[in-house]
Amino acid sequence: MSATLSVEKLSVSYANGTERIEAVRSLSFDVAPGECLGIVGESGSGKTQLLMAAMGLLAGNAVIDGSVRFEGEELITRDSAELNRIRGAKVSMVFQDPMTSLTPHLKIGIQLAEVLVCHAAMSWRDAWAAAERTLGRVHISEPRRRLNQYPHELSGGMRQRVMIGMGLLCGPSLLIADEPTSALDVTVQAQIIELLRGLRSEMGMALILVSHDLGVVAGLADRILVMYAGRAVECAATQVLLQQPRHPYTAGLLKCIPSLDGPRVERLATLPGQPPQPGERLEACAFAPRCPRAAERCRIERPQLLGSSTGSVACHFPLTS
């Protein structure tokens, strides 16, 4: 079965005077139809830049190398008009902050119906009725009344449900959710994840779920891609990655997840140090300065890292050392 989205050796960089800042470094992965891929990493790891490149939404000074194919068709070489026929119709993206993603001075109904008027050539009357049905589908109460409200009149969780509903209006093959729960409290987070789970099962669409929280992604994703400093350091089936992480960075992220089952601790675990700064020259393993196991040996020996078909790398020091 061919992949819904196939990314191959994708690199994203920005010119900064005479220097070039690399945001994504030769990253490859596939997403199969109906599959959920989780992408995890700290802020600045390149998660959003990766997906904005795939959607053709980067700033004008961005330089993109590599390939992004959606259902077999190359996206990188397409112009804005061609991409606009795909974005919102076949590929939809839910952004991190629904308050800034929704237009504040337009009613919810207008913003939803406009998607169908533009992409499905519906009349405003039919589009408005479809928008009402969609709000009910994402479990928003009193959908008819909500259509006539403005974004500021809805709670954060309801605004995010509106954004998810907007992404689903045209029945896309792929939904990209970029940090969809980061601005919400834990109770609403769980509701949004459960909503995405149900909609994915109902519609059979592929889903990319992006987060800095490995615990959030683990409850929904079939596979998880871990990013660090613009690179894929590990990619594996969710249960395999949770139980047998190959890279110390993945192991560090797992230790940072709070647990109610383990012994009581006074302070949650954290990763020491900071990720590399933009434009910083990276050695063979970018995580070496923060690695709790073999930082000095990594810098001195410059080990060859083990490659994989996903373009990820795995640390050659065993996690038991």
Instruction: Parse the chain into domains and list their residue ranges.
Output: 1-90+177-259+270-321, 101-169
- pLDDT tens-digit series, residues 251-298: 888 888 776 676 676 677 777 788 887 767 776 678 888 887 654 455
Fold of the CATH domain 1-90+177-259+270-321: Rossmann fold (3.40.50)
Q: Which residues of 181-200 are buried (b: 16+ CB within 10 A; e: fewer)?
A: bebbeeebbebbbebbeebb
Nearest one of 44, 10, 40, 63 to 276, comparing CA atoms: 44
* CA distances, 84 to each of 57, 88, 207 (Å): 11, 8, 20
> Average pLDDT of the chain?
84
Q: Give residue 242's pLDDT band: very low, low, confident or very high (50, 70, 90).
A: very high
Q: What is the pLDDT of residue 132?
A: 96
CB contact at 8 A, 54 and 27: no
Nearest one of 314, 286, 133, 142 to 225, comparing CA atoms: 314
| pTM for the structure as a whole | 0.86
Q: What is the pLDDT of residue 301?
A: 42
Q: Judge whether residue 23 has pLDDT over 70.
A: yes
Distance, in Å, from the CA atom of 58 to the CA atom of 193, rounded to the nearest integer, reads 27
Most confident residue range from 90-99, 137-146, 247-256, 278-287: 137-146
Q: What is the pLDDT of residue 265?
A: 65
- pLDDT tens-digit series, residues 299-311: 434 444 433 444 4
Instruction: Name beta bridge partners: 11.
Output: 65
Q: Judge whether residue 316 has pLDDT over 80.
A: no
Distance, in Å, from the CA atom of 317 to the CA atom of 320, rounded to the nearest integer, reads 8
Q: Judge whether residue 35 has pLDDT over 50.
A: yes
CB contact at 8 A, 140 and 165: yes
The distance between the two most distant Cα atoms of the chain, rounded to a whole number of Å, is: 68
